[in-house]
């Protein structure tokens, strides 16, 4: 596993703008983009507004419909507007 991104309980990579706002975060398991409870790749504008979200399972891009068919419900954080999924 050496040299591959991996983190079970949070983003494996985070980048910040100089103003302290999060720029992006990416979730990886065993070197593959993966997240089961929300987008695995998230980009923000420097003002904090989300500009892009993409969902992945085991390195494969999945539409939000895939997660909804698995019985998850989509919600948005009132504070940060990020999308998350819950059972």
Contact 4, 31 (CB under 8 A): yes
Residues 6+ apart with CB under 8 A from 73: 85, 86, 87
Is the pLDDT assigned to residue 44 strictly greater than 90? yes
2 found inside a domain: no
The CA radius of gyration of the chain, in Å to the nearest whole number, is 13
Instruction: Give the pLDDT score at 2.
Output: 53
What is the pTM assigned to this prediction? 0.75
Asked if the structure places residue 3 within a domain, the reply is no
Give me the number of domains the chain comprises. Answer: 1
Can you tell me the distance from the alpha carbon of 55 to that of 73, in angstroms, rounded to the nearest whole number? Answer: 14
Q: Give yes or no for residue 14 having a pLDDT over 80.
A: yes
85: its two tokens:
């999924």
Show the CA angle centred on residue 38, arms to residues 37 and 41, nearest 5°. Answer: 135
Mean pLDDT of the chain: 87
Assess if residue 8 is contained within a domain. no
Domain extent for 59: 13-86
- Residue 18 covered by a domain: yes
Backbone φ, ψ for residue 65 (5° rounding): -55, -35
Q: Is residue 6 part of a domain?
A: no
């Amino acid at each position: 596993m050496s040299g591959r991104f991996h983190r079970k309980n949070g983003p494996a990579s985070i980048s910040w703008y100089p103003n302290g706002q999060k720029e992006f975060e990416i979730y990886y398991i065993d070197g593959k983009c993966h997240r089961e409870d929300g987008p695995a790749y998230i980009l923000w504008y420097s003002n904090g507004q989300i500009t892009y979200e993409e969902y992945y399972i085991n390195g494969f891009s999945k539409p939000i419909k895939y997660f909804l068919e698995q019985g998850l419900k989509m919600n948005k954080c009132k504070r940060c507007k990020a999308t998350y999924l819950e059972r």
